[in-house]
C-alpha cells in the first residue's frame, strides 16, 4: 500500500499560545493513528532553541528555522500571548521582538506565497508582516482583527469566521478554532469517517465549517458518546451509497433492530434512514461541485434509484435545486 507523507513545520513564536499548538497537533496525532494511507511528519521550529509558552511551560530542543523545506510542506504558524500567566519574569521584550522579526524574515524569504500556510489565532499577524496575506481573504482572533487589517492593508480581513482559505493560505480565529480548521483539513485529505473518529476520540463537538452557518451532513448527529450509534454511523459514512436497511446495520453493530432504532433517534435526533439520506445528499453535493457527471450518474453513485429520487431527497434539505451546487460555468 502506498503511503503519502505530509511534512508539517510548526513555527513557534515567543510566548506561543500552547493551545494553538496542542489542539491542531493532537488532531494530526490522532489522524496518524486512525488511518494508514496518509502520515503527518511534524517538526517544531523557532528562532531560538528554547522558549516559554503561554502557561509558563518551557519548550526546549526546538529546531532552527530551516533554509530549505520540502515543496509539499505545510507550514503552521502558532499564535502568541502578550503576557505569560505564570512566568512573567522570563519575558525579555527586546529579545522577543528580535525573534519575532527573525520569523517574519524567514517566512518572507523561505516560505513565500507558493506554499500551504496555516495560521492559528494571532499567528496571522506574523504571516501578515511577511506579506503572505496581501490580496487574500483572511481572519484571526476577534481581538486582533483591527491589528491584522493595519499590518496588511492589502488583505481582506473578515470577522466572525472560524477559518477561511484563499490560494492555499488558511487562517483561523481564536484558539480552539485551530482545532476546527485542522479537523477540516484532515477531513479533506482522509475523508469524513476518519475525521469523525478523531473528533469522537478527542470528545469534540464538530462545529460548522469556516463560513457555513449549517452543520455539515457528514458531521450532523455526531454530538454524542454512544459507541453503538457511532459504530453504525461510521459504517454508513464509509459507503453511503450502499443499501443500509435497519436489519443489516443492527446486525453489524450487535444490536437488535428495535434497540438500534431507539438509540439512533435518541442520540442523533433523526432516524437511521434520514441519516443515510443526509449523507447521500452530502456526497451528491460534492460530486456536483467537483465533477461534470450528469444527474443520473450522480444519483447512481450516491445510492439513489434515479435522478428524480435524488431531486426529491435534495428538496427536503435544500431550498435551491441541485444544479446550483455545480461549480464553475
pLDDT confidence of residue 86: 76
Convert the pLDDT of each residue in 62-113 to its tens digit.
Answer: 999 999 988 899 999 999 999 887 765 566 899 999 999 999 999 999 997 7
Name, of 84-88, 259-263, 286-290, the range with top average pLDDT.
259-263
Has residue 305 got a pLDDT over 90?
A: yes
Query: How do 137-138 and 51-52 pair as beta strands?
Result: unpaired
pLDDT in tens, 199-250: 878 877 555 455 443 346 777 787 677 889 989 998 998 889 999 999 999 9
CA distance 262 to 271: 9
Mean pLDDT is lowest, of 21-30, 59-68, 81-90, 250-259, for 81-90
Residues 6+ apart with CB under 8 A from 44: 10, 12, 21, 59, 62, 63
C-alpha cell at 231: 459504530
Distance between CA atoms of residues 214 and 285, nearest Å: 14
pLDDT cut 90: percent of the chain above it: 67
Mean pLDDT of the 27-42 span:
96
- Residue 16's alpha-carbon distances to 45, 252, 299, in angstroms, are 12, 46, 48
CA separation for the pair 257, 239 (Å, rounded): 20
- How far apart are alpha carbons 106 and 110 in whole angstroms? 5
For the cut 50, the answer to whether the pLDDT of residue 53 exceeds it is yes
Helix (H) or strand (E) holding 155: none
Q: How far is CA 44 from CA 51, 115, 121, 181, in A?
A: 12, 17, 18, 19
3-class DSSP state for residue 101? helix
Average pLDDT of the residues in 128-132 = 96
Confidence of residue 291 (pLDDT cuts 50, 70, 90): confident
Q: What is the pTM of this model?
A: 0.72
pLDDT, tens digit (0-9, with 9 covering 90-100), for 306-323: 999 999 999 999 989 998
Q: Is 158 helix (H, G, I), strand (E, B) or coil?
A: coil
Least confident of 125-139, 240-254, 275-289: 275-289
Q: How far is CA 164 from CA 43, 140, 184, in A?
A: 24, 9, 11
The whole-number pLDDT of residue 77 equals: 98
Phi first, then psi, for residue 7 (nearest 5°) are -70, 135
The count of other CB atoms within 10 Å of the CB of residue 201 is 13
Residues 6+ apart with CB under 8 A from 263: 226, 228, 229, 255
Amino acid at each position: 500500500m502506498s503511503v503519502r507523507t505530509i511534512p508539517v513545520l510548526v513555527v513557534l513564536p515567543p510566548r506561543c499560545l500552547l493551545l494553538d499548538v496542542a489542539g491542531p497537533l493532537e488532531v494530526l496525532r490522532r489522524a496518524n493513528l486512525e488511518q494508514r494511507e496518509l502520515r503527518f511528519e511534524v517538526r517544531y521550529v523557532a528562532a531560538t532553541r528554547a522558549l516559554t509558552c503561554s502557561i509558563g511551560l518551557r519548550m526546549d530542543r526546538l529546531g532552527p528555522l530551516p533554509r530549505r523545506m520540502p515543496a509539499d510542506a505545510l507550514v503552521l504558524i502558532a499564535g502568541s500571548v502578550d503576557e505569560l500567566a505564570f512566568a512573567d519574569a522570563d519575558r525579555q521584550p527586546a529579545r522577543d521582538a528580535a525573534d519575532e522579526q527573525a520569523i517574519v524574515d524567514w517566512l518572507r524569504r523561505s516560505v513565500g506565497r507558493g506554499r500551504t500556510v496555516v495560521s492559528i489565532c494571532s499567528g496571522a499577524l506574523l504571516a501578515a508582516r511577511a506579506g503572505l496575506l496581501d490580496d487574500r481573504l483572511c481572519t484571526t482572533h476577534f481581538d486582533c482583527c483591527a491589528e491584522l487589517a493595519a499590518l496588511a492593508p492589502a488583505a481582506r480581513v473578515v470577522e466572525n469566521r472560524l477559518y477561511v482559505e484563499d490560494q492555499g493560505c488558511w487562517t483561523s480565529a481564536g484558539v480552539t478554532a485551530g482545532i476546527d480548521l485542522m479537523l477540516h483539513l484532515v477531513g479533506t485529505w482522509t475523508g469524513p469517517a476518519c475525521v469523525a473518529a478523531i473528533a469522537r476520540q478527542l470528545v469534540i463537538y464538530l462545529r460548522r465549517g469556516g463560513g457555513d452557518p449549517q452543520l455539515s451532513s457528514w458531521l450532523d448527529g455526531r454530538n454524542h458518546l454512544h459507541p453503538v450509534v457511532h459504530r453504525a454511523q461510521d459504517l454508513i459514512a464509509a459507503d453511503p451509497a450502499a443499501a443500509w436497511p435497519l436489519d443489516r446495520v443492527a446486525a453489524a453493530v450487535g444490536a437488535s433492530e428495535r434497540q438500534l432504532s431507539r438509540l439512533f433517534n435518541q442520540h442523533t435526533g433523526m432516524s437511521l434512514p434520514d441519516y443515510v439520506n443526509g449523507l447521500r445528499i452530502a456526497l451528491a453535493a460534492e460530486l456536483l461541485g467537483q465533477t461534470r457527471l450528469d444527474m443520473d450518474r450522480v444519483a447512481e453513485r450516491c445510492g439513489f434509484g434515479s435522478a428524480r429520487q435524488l431531486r426529491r431527497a435534495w428538496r427536503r434539505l435544500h431550498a435551491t435545486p441541485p444544479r446550483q451546487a455545480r461549480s464553475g460555468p
